[in-house]
Amino acid sequence: MERWGILVMILLVAVAMQMVDCVDEGAKEVEEWFDKLPYAKQKVTNLHFFFHDRFAGRHNITAVRVAHGSGTDKSPTSFGLVFIMDDPLTEGLIPTSKQLGRAQGLYAFSGRHELSLLMSFNLVFTTGEFNGSTLTVLGRNPAVPHREMPIVGGSGVFRLARGVASAKLREFNMTTGNAIIEYNVVVLHY
Ligand SMILES: *[C@@H]1O[C@H](CO)[C@@H](O)[C@H](O)[C@H]1NC(C)=O
Ligand SMILES: *[C@@H]1O[C@H](CO)[C@@H](O)[C@H](O)[C@H]1NC(C)=O
Ligand SMILES: *[C@@H]1O[C@H](CO)[C@@H](O)[C@H](O)[C@H]1NC(C)=O
């Protein structure tokens, strides 16, 4: 009896989670969307926002260190260090400006001889026409002024998306550990 109770609870939680997702389309709607795809026109959407990564300091940490290698602490490039983030995306440079979504995923220090990150995360939009839709970024983020990372897919409005996310470090505060990165995203979708 207890086991059934737990299973029912899991199912109810799954249903509740589906209902909060704003792009409320099931497998059938997705199939229909694909059937109409030959007649769909491709669009280009430009997005601009600021990404706030706070991994140090005492308040409102948005990125946590979850793993490292045996030699990470001795590595000048922190090789092997892994962070998980849930960073706010805002309209303006100021952290308190309007929040457009979150960047959820991980970054790993993957360069043995140079400072370079592997980025693997989802841009989760929570306002306006993109509310409930996501874009998936997977790419290399080296320590250079301009970084370019591929958009490899998306969901909701951004189904079958492809594009490029250009990132530029705007501010970094050693005291608070707050890094502000400006993102310009160009994405092709239907
Ligand atoms: C985004 O979608 C969620 C889920 O449908 C909804 O609760 C929320 O109010 C929406 N937010 C905005 C700003 O439209
Ligand atoms: C932390 O977040 C709270 C609530 O969003 C905010 O009021 C506060 O100013 C933030 N603290 C810092 C140091 O940013
Ligand atoms: C870093 O943040 C602290 C606390 O908010 C602030 O006092 C300091 O001026 C900032 N430093 C820079 C270089 O922006």
Q: Could you tell me if 140 and 131 are in contact, meaning their C-beta atoms sit under 8 angstroms apart? A: no
At 11, is the secondary structure helix, strand, or coil?
helix
What average pLDDT score do residues 66-88 get?
Answer: 96
Domain annotation covers residue 19: no
- Structural domain including 82 reads 42-189
Distance 81 CA to ligand 2 centre (A): 27
Ligand 1 nearest atom to the CA of residue 22, by list position = 5
Domain annotation covers residue 52: yes
Domain annotation covers residue 32: no
Domain annotation covers residue 10: no
Structure token pair of residue 153: 């897919």
Question: What pLDDT was estimated at residue 21?
Answer: 46
Q: How many domains does the chain have?
A: 1
Q: Is the pLDDT assigned to residue 2 strictly greater than 70?
A: no
Taking alpha carbons only, the member of 188, 183, 187 closest to residue 88 is 183
**pLDDT tens digits along 96-140:** 999 999 999 999 999 999 999 999 999 999 999 999 999 999 999
Distance 117 CA to ligand 2 centre (A): 27
Quick one: which H or E segment has residue 110?
Answer: none
Domain annotation covers residue 101: yes
Domain annotation covers residue 24: no
Quick one: which H or E segment has residue 6?
Answer: helix 2-20
At 19, is the secondary structure helix, strand, or coil?
helix
Nearest CA to ligand 3 atom 11: 173
Q: Is the CB of 173 under 6 A from ligand 2?
A: no
Least confident of 35-39, 40-44, 131-135, 176-180: 176-180
Task: Compute CA 71 distance to the chain's CA centroid, rounded to the nearest angstrom.
Answer: 28
Nearest CA to ligand 2 atom 4: 60
Nearest CA to ligand 1 atom 5: 22
Question: What pLDDT was estimated at residue 143?
Answer: 84
Domain annotation covers residue 173: yes
Distance 92 CA to ligand 1 centre (A): 20
Indicate the pLDDT class of residue 24, thresholds 50, 70 and 90. confident
**pLDDT tens digits along 151-173:** 999 999 999 999 999 999 999 88
Specify the higher pLDDT residue, 15 or 153: 153
Task: Compute CA 125 distance to the chain's CA centroid, rounded to the nearest angstrom.
Answer: 9
Quick one: which H or E segment has residue 133?
Answer: none
State what percent of residues in the chain have pLDDT above 90.
77
Q: What is the CATH number of the domain that holds 66?
A: 2.40.480.10
At 178, is the secondary structure helix, strand, or coil?
strand
| CB-CB neighbours of 103 under 10 Å | 25
Which ligand has the minimum distance to the alpha carbon of residue 98?
A: 1
Domain annotation covers residue 89: yes
State what percent of residues in the chain have pLDDT above 70.
88
pLDDT, mean over the chain:
90
Residue from 54, 58, 60 to probe ligand 2 pocket by mutation (most atoms less than 8 Å from CB): 60
